[in-house]
């Protein structure tokens, strides 16, 4: 596991800027993100944790639920693909797991191919307070395993699991649950 800082290395920053400029001069091609299984089977490798910068979007509440987007940004200089669900669990300051890991939503998914400097998204969900059960203590980190990875990344993130509800959706291109 690695502790993610919010600062990219010089190599990662240069790779992101170079890839972004290449995407702009090539017309952006839908921001470099595609979601076809055909491309992944056409030789695009699976993203590893060393290819990715993980960060959190904004928390949003709706209809008694709290949603939070996980962003997987490709920091490598080549395309890579993600397919399926990340593994996600909440941790305390001593990196001990709080409650069970997130369960999958059961939604269908496709392969998300990430061009350099582009991102895919997955969304986590819990209830917005103790609706059908108590809330657990608030975590300090999320431990996130990208799909098909056995290596986790720790992302600083305050997250409280409530009502025995902790779900994760598949990686996708539009940040939906």
Indicate whether 175 belongs to any domain: no
pLDDT, tens digit (0-9, with 9 covering 90-100), for 86-96: 999 999 999 99
User: Which helix H or strand E contains 67, and what residues bound it?
Assistant: strand 65-74
Kindly report, residue by residue over 109-154, the tens digit of the pLDDT. 999 999 999 999 999 999 998 888 899 999 999 999 999 999 999 9
- The pTM is what? 0.77
Q: Confidence class of residue 104 from pLDDT cuts 50, 70 and 90? A: very high
Q: How many domains does the chain have?
A: 1
Average pLDDT, the chain: 83
Question: In whole angstroms, what separates CA 174 from the centre of its chain?
Answer: 12
Residue bearing tokens 């962003």? 71
- Expressed as residue numbers, the domain containing 18 is 2-168
Helix ranges (DSSP H) in 35-116: 37-41
| Burial group, residue 90, by CB count within 10 angstroms (0-12, 13-18, 19+) | buried
Q: What is the pLDDT of residue 42?
A: 62
**What are the CA-CA distances from residue 79 to residues 11, 89, 100, 175 (Å)?**
16, 27, 33, 19
Q: What is the CA radius of gyration of the chain?
A: 16
CA diameter of the chain: 52
Do 23 and 119 form a contact (C-beta atoms < 8 A)?
A: no
Question: Does residue 160 lie within any of the structural domains?
Answer: yes
Residue 150 falls within a domain, yes or no?
yes
Q: Quick check: is 47 in a domain?
A: yes
Residue 176 belongs to a domain: no
- Checking if the pLDDT of 156 tops 60, the result is yes
Q: Concatenated DSSP letters for 80-97?
A: EEEES--EEEEE-TT--E
pLDDT for res 43: 85
Q: Is residue 174 part of a domain?
A: no
Tens digit of pLDDT for each residue in 23-56?
333 333 333 444 444 444 468 999 999 999 999 9
- How are strands ordered across the β-sheet holding 97-98? 2-3, 153-159, 139-145, 87-91, 97-98
């Amino acid at each position: 596991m690695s502790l993610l800082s919010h600062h990219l290395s010089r190599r990662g920053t240069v790779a992101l800027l170079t890839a972004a400029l290449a995407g702009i001069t090539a017309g952006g091609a839908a921001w470099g993100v595609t979601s076809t299984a055909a491309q992944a089977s056409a030789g695009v490798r699976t993203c590893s944790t060393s290819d990715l910068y993980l960060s959190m979007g904004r928390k949003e509440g709706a209809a008694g639920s709290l949603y939070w987007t996980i962003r997987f940004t490709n920091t490598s200089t080549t395309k890579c693909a993600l397919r399926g669900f990340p593994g996600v669990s909440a941790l305390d300051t001593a990196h001990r797991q709080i409650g069970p890991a997130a369960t999958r939503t059961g939604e269908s998914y496709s392969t998300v191919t990430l061009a350099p400097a582009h991102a895919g998204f997955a969304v986590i969900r819990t209830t917005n307070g103790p609706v059908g059960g108590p809330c657990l203590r608030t975590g300090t980190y999320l431990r996130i395993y990208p799909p098909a990875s056995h290596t986790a990344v720790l992302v600083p993130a305050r997250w409280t699991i409530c009502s025995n509800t902790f779900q994760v959706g598949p990686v996708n291109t539009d940040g939906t649950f």
